[in-house]
Amino acid sequence: MKSRFAILFAFDGTDYCGWQTQKGIGRHSNPKLSIEETLATAIYEVCAETVTVVASGRTDAGVHASGQVAHFELTSGRFSEKSLILGINQELPDTIQILALEQVPREFHAKEAIRKQYSYYFQQGPAQLPHLRTTALWDHYPLDGDLMQKSLSCLQGEHDFAGFSAAGAKVNSTVRSLHEVEITHHPISLPGEYDTSTHFLWRLRLVGSGFLKQMVRTIAGTVKQIGEGQRPAEDMAMILESRDRTLAGPTAPACGLWLERVWYPKQEGVDFLKQTE
């Protein structure tokens, strides 16, 4: 009988085409690797088994994660959890690393998440800090935190988020529930040493039962316009009510988006998930 393993892992998505392996050929092929195939290849190098790695959900090209969850199955029982995580991490590039790994009940399924947390980071300051150039979006215009928070309050709860979904996305329903929505201020002090009065981050944090394609990035693009004073805070509620994507702001670049946490029903007996409760 196969053994099922769950992993908690982080990645810098800058050089990847996203989670899912791309199957295009010729001029339609993608020269960038996917997170999925990179993990599967590393597991094969250690275990000599071809596996399917199932994640809690897909992430787009350029998006990062500090708390993505996935599972895979192995036929061989000769590997301990410690040897697996050490061996697989050694085969993985520095841009993807497993933070925790454990054998789990076969009932555990990574796709059965009940909540996820995404954050979008805006970097503020007189110039972009080089070490944050691929992990936060620099905006040289000052962002008004009070206006941004005011605009976001309407998004909490269950709503039809069609106005913030990518055009042409095929889903059964565009209704989703957001449990937490906030914008918070965070000084940039480490690594390095900077003037924290001028160099800081705005963090747009969303916790929800599920998210539509590019939903967080579209909300981020809209809240950025509101924070810059390009449009009133009331526009967020207007877009939500209209369900018209053309009224929302631009899709914010992928570099600022992070998948940070994933929750499961009763955490499914997975110890490393319980540690994040």
Report the catalytic residues: 60
The residue ranges of DSSP E strands in 75-195, in sequence order, are 96-104, 115-124, 137-139, 157-160, 175-187
Q: Bridge partners of 138?
A: 123
Of residues 98, 87, 86, the one with CA closest to residue 35: 98
DSSP H or E run through 271: helix 271-274
Tokens of 191: 């690594």
57, burial (CB in 10 Å: exposed 0-12, middle 13-18, buried 19+): middle
- Residue 13 and residue 61: Cα distance in Å, rounded? 7
- Residue 233 and residue 146: Cα distance in Å, rounded? 10
Count Cβ atoms below 10 Å from residue 192 Cβ, excluding itself.
Answer: 10
